[in-house]
A = this chain, B = another copy of it.
Amino acid sequence: MPAAESAQSYPLLIKQIFSSAGRFEPDNKIVYRGDKSFSYQEFRERVQQLANALKAAGVEAGDTVAVMDWDSHRYLECYFAVPMLGAVLHHVNIRLSPEQIVYTMNHAEDKLVLVHDDFVPLVEQVKGHLTTVDGYIRLSDTGAESTSDVDFIGEYEKLLAVQDKVCNFPDFDENSIATTFYTTGTTGNPKGVFFSHRQLTLHTLNMVGQLGSYDGLPLLRSDSVYMPITPMFHVHAWGVPYAAVMLNCTQIYPGRYEPDKLVELINDYQVTISHCVPTILQMLLACESGQKTQFNDWKVLIGGSALPMGLAQTATEKGIDIYTAYGMSETCPLLTIAHLNKEIRSLPVEQQLKYRILTGVPANLVDLTITEPDGALAPHDGSAVGEITVQAPWLTMGYAKEPEKQEELWEGGRLHTGDVASVHENGFVEIKDRIKDVIKTGGEWISSIELENLISQHPAVAAVAVVGIPDDKWGERPFAMVVPKTAELEAAELQQHLQQYVDNGHISKWAIPEQMQMVDDIPKTSVGKINKKEIRAALSA
């Protein structure tokens, strides 16, 4: 149907999220650590001032602007101002090693870097190795003069103060890249993922509905008080800040994560919704003020790794309303989320927990399937397992400058998550293992994590790791490395222990490892995870 010649198509741009800021609840505030508070009107002006300051610093469409900051109102302003100029926002992962940070900043071709005072020493250390950066802006909480030898263009607040409060953001192709950041595996260089304006606008638009309009998932509405506890450099803080701006929520940005400070902010501002990894939740509950606080009306969305039932129970007893979600750096991130349907909601809370700690059901617009080793779609019966592949409107279209790795990621036209899962009849996804750790034996997949869980339930086991080792007949067979609590523990006893799970149908008889090794210690990675790569390498050496 031929359109009117003068009709304009409407690109999906981050500026359209921005245009909702303050439209519905103009009196709500954006707060930084309790020290600073801005109305949505001020936020709108500051974003435009920041954009003008960035232009004055030479930023043009297509340039990459890096941010090294804790969670702050400034970072939120960058979430909008940088991409709305047509530039790319690089969320620098400040937890990487200095060497990796240099790698990512050179790889992303960062031109301008905004640096919080806490990271100035790091920048001093690495700046000689940054090959594309030609300017730095300082982010200071104190406003004190800099004593650094970094030649800053200026301090953020001072640069904003002199700028006009109006900036006319241009229209451009909705597929223009808005953000980039890096994901690390156990090997190789960090890999750059990237997201377009269209992808982030759709992710936001969906999140606004998904987290507020479903009674089984009432997390984020315009009256919510939101505080992220997933770093803003980590997958767009799961995309919630963009949704919170569109909803005009009150937002609390906590700066550097200090458990007692976080609890103080939750209490002071009556925060209703946060999201974090299980470890952070554990830290919060364990800190001094956390122990004293009853967190009624605080909803927490957990992701990043599986939520242990014990922690979920403790959190529930402390009044926390717990939900889980699943996604990855490659997926913007939202893929699945724990929607509690009417049937689940009718259960007592302790029985709901089973579903609250599962990975949830696919979000709107997400097409998720599990594929068996032979490539066939696995049935959604709660027991068949397969690799999760997805299609959704907000997946990275590749890895920057990594032609081979990005074809692997997208093999066959769907994004491969590398996670193995089963899907229950009610749609809940249950992650079983990473595909690289799953044991492929005789055409079946056995979860190494499940075997570890079962073996660890033997009273004489202190720690256990299970990996697959090559087998001529079966392809692979499971191998268990066990740290016993008592010297006498033998493989036969553990095999007998596992037999009960075979008898009750929980695992197949092929899952019992013939080979086990008693050891004093299990190899770990630098972040404390079992180093299965090293175990496999040692076994095949």
| Interface positions of A (Cβ within 8 A of B) | 1-10, 12, 16, 19-20, 23-27, 177, 194, 202, 205-206, 208-209, 211-216, 220-223, 246-247, 339, 341-343, 361-362, 364-365, 367, 391-393, 395, 397-400, 403, 406-407, 409-415, 426-427
Contacts and interface: CB of A to CB of B under 8 A. Distances in A.
A220 to B, nearest CB: 7
A391 B10 contact: yes
A7 B365 contact: no
Contact of A213 (B208, B216, B393, B415): B208
Given A6-B411, A221-B214, A23 B393 contact: no
A6 B177 contact: no
A24 B211 CA distance: 13
Contacts of A23: 361-362, 364, 427
A394 to B, nearest CB: 8
A391 B1 contact: no
Contact of A216 (B24, B362, B415): B24
Contact of A414 (B8, B205, B367): B8
A153 to B, nearest CB: 27
Most chain B Cβ neighbours within 10 Å, of A4, A406, A410: A4
Nearest to A194: B1
Contact of A7 (B16, B222, B410): B410
A165 to B, nearest CB: 17
A1 B4 CA distance: 32
Contacts of A220: 213
Most chain B Cβ neighbours within 10 Å, of A2, A23, A407: A23
A395 B322 CA distance: 40
Contacts of A343: 27
Identical copies of this chain, number: 2
Contacts of A212: 209, 212-214
A24 B393 contact: no
A7 B397 contact: yes
A171 to B, nearest CB: 10
Contacts of A4: 397-399, 403, 406-407, 409-410
A104 to B, nearest CB: 15
Contact of A177 (B1, B392, B415): B1
30 contacts: A1-B177, A1-B398, A1-B400, A3-B406, A4-B398, A4-B399, A4-B409, A5-B407, A6-B411, A7-B398, A8-B413, A9-B397, A10-B365, A10-B391, A10-B392, A10-B393, A16-B365, A20-B364, A20-B365, A24-B341, A25-B342, A26-B426, A27-B341, A27-B342, A27-B343, A202-B205, A205-B365, A206-B209, A215-B221, A216-B222
Given A413-B6, A413-B7, A397 B1 contact: yes
Given A19-B367, A26-B426, A213-B213, 12 more contacts: A4-B403, A6-B411, A7-B395, A7-B410, A20-B364, A24-B216, A26-B341, A27-B341, A202-B205, A205-B209, A205-B365, A212-B212
Given A1-B400, A220-B213, A24 B391 contact: no
Contact of A410 (B6, B216, B426): B6
A79 to B, nearest CB: 17
A61 to B, nearest CB: 14
A329 to B, nearest CB: 15
State the 9 A-B residue pairs at the shortest beta-carbon distance, nearest first: A212-B213, A3-B397, A208-B209, A209-B209, A4-B406, A4-B398, A4-B410, A215-B223, A6-B410
Nearest to A247: B213
A25 B427 CA distance: 11
Most chain B Cβ neighbours within 10 Å, of A398, A411, A414: A398
A58 to B, nearest CB: 22
Nearest to A3: B397
B7 A406 contact: yes
Contacts of A397: 1, 3-4, 7, 9
Contacts of A367: 16, 19
Contact of A205 (B8, B24, B205, B339): B205
A391 B213 contact: no
Contacts of A398: 1-4, 7
A205 B364 contact: yes
Nearest to A212: B213
Nearest to A399: B4
Contacts of A399: 4
A90 to B, nearest CB: 12
A362 B22 CA distance: 12
A187 to B, nearest CB: 20
B211 A222 contact: no
A214 B409 CA distance: 37
Contacts of A391: 8, 10
Contacts of A205: 202, 205-206, 209, 364-365
A152 to B, nearest CB: 29
